[in-house]
Amino acid sequence: MRLIAGLGNPGKKYQASRHNLGFMAIDRLADIYQAMVFLPRFHGRIAQVKIAEEEVFLLKPYTSMNSSGISIAQAMNKLKLPPEKLIVIHDDMDLALGKIKIALGAGSAGHKGIASIFWSLHTKDFYRIRLGIGKPAEEEDLVEYVLSDFREEEQEQVDEMLDQACQAVLVLVRDGLEKARNLFHRKS
């Protein structure tokens, strides 16, 4: 059994924003693996699917990005899962748009949602699928940038990245970290 959490902010205002790539990935996984319904639990929304014959829970924390750890820690405790059974999908400004990196035990690089998870779980020892959103132009405000929607000309790259993220989840669950890194670091 595993928990896959996608980070984002609840509400229509943020639905298509760069900061909500984690939610978008969870929604795409739910479609691919035919999740029946998302139920309100653990200060978020959770659904159950099977990926590579393994029972997997898909979680969208509704606590706001910077408090994601609260929701994730509650789910992990209730499901009695150790940190190595957690995969977190999130946006990353240190990666160019469309790039994917898969990590285990890496630092937060200033991502407050990830820092919240570190604090709540008391560990960094969980998997992360980092989805590149690139950096804003010099004159652009950082917060405005991450909360802005993707531009129309970026959408094809975003869709490809989300497809790759879903494939990366499958490989990570089925074959492990090394195989996932070998496949997806090269692709992106």
98 and 40 in contact (C-beta within 8 Å)? no
Q: Which residue has the tokens 């089925």?
A: 174
Rounded Cα distance, 146 and 57, in Å: 27
Q: Let me know: does 126 contact 86? Beta carbons within 8 Å.
A: yes
Q: Is 19 an annotated catalytic residue?
A: yes
Alpha-carbon distance of 67 to 85, in angstroms, equals: 20
Residues 39/55, Cβ–Cβ less than 8 Å = no
| Annotated active-site residue in 19, 43, 90, 111 | 19
Point out the residues that are catalytic. 19
